[in-house]
A = this chain, B = another copy of it.
Amino acid sequence: ISINQIEETNRLCNRKFMLSVVVEHIFLLVLVTLISVLQNAFFATKVEREGKEHHANTSAFERVSCANRNCMDSYPTFLAVLWCAGLCLNQAPAAFAGLVYLVARQKYFVGYMGQTSQSTPGYVFGKRVLSFLFLMCIVGIFNLLLVRYFGNDFKDTVETITTAASALLLIP
């Protein structure tokens, strides 16, 4: 066995290990994303059924369709903030905040179907959760710059604080 072969084996071994590390640090985010996809499918089914039953253009269809569009408008923003917060700081509080957002969205959609006149975009709900995730991103980047230029790693402290702070999101 030459040194080249050992080096090659070592590299391949690292490659597998590296990927499993990456997946391990995002799997909670993937789970929340999957739940949000299921919710999207639920919303779409509601719109579809309402459209077929009432032959469109009735007020019930209009409302469901509008609620769906509001939810879909803010969906890319939500995904972007969720993943950035999870990658920059820690996936656990980010995933928890994502779950809270999904519950708020569900409440919004169900509440919208019963009401009459609303046409504001979907940022009416979940503003607090999105701000929390946004703050997490900024803290994460700030921490990275600190580590790079001063060598102090506050990440562990910050992660503990954010995990504790995410529990505050449950307060209505």
Name A19's contact: one of B25, B34, B120 (CB within 8 Å): B25
Chain A stretch 1-60: residues in CB contact (< 8 A) with chain B: 11, 15, 17-27, 30-31, 33-34, 36-37, 40-41, 44-45, 47-48, 51-52, 56
Known: A19-B21, A76-B75, A76-B76. A47 touches B134 (CB 8 A): no
Contact call B87/A30, Cβ cutoff below 8 A: yes
Question: B30–A141 contact, CB under 8 A?
Answer: yes
Interface SS, A side: helix
Report the minimal beta-carbon distance from A98 to chain B, rounded to whole angstroms. 12
CA distance A130 to B45 in the complex (A): 14
Binds B, one of A77-85, A99-107, A161-169: A77-85
Which residues of B lie under 8 Å from residue A147 when comparing CB positions? 20
Q: Which residues of B contact A41 (CB under 8 A)?
A: 77, 123, 130
In chain A, positions 66-119 with a C-beta closer than 8 Å to chain B are 68-69, 72-77, 79-81, 84, 87-88, 117, 119
Contact: A34 with B73, CB < 8 Å? no
Q: State the oligomeric state as a number of copies.
A: 3
Q: Which of A117-152 contact B (CB under 8 A)?
A: 117, 119-124, 130, 134, 137-138, 140-141, 144, 147-148
**Contact partner of A144 among B23, B44, B117, CB < 8 A?**
B23
6 pairs from A and B in contact (CB 8 Å cutoff): A20-B144, A20-B147, A45-B123, A47-B121, A48-B121, A68-B73
Other 6 A-B pairs with CB < 8 A, given A11-B17, A23-B140, A24-B148: A37-B77, A41-B130, A44-B121, A68-B73, A68-B121, A76-B79
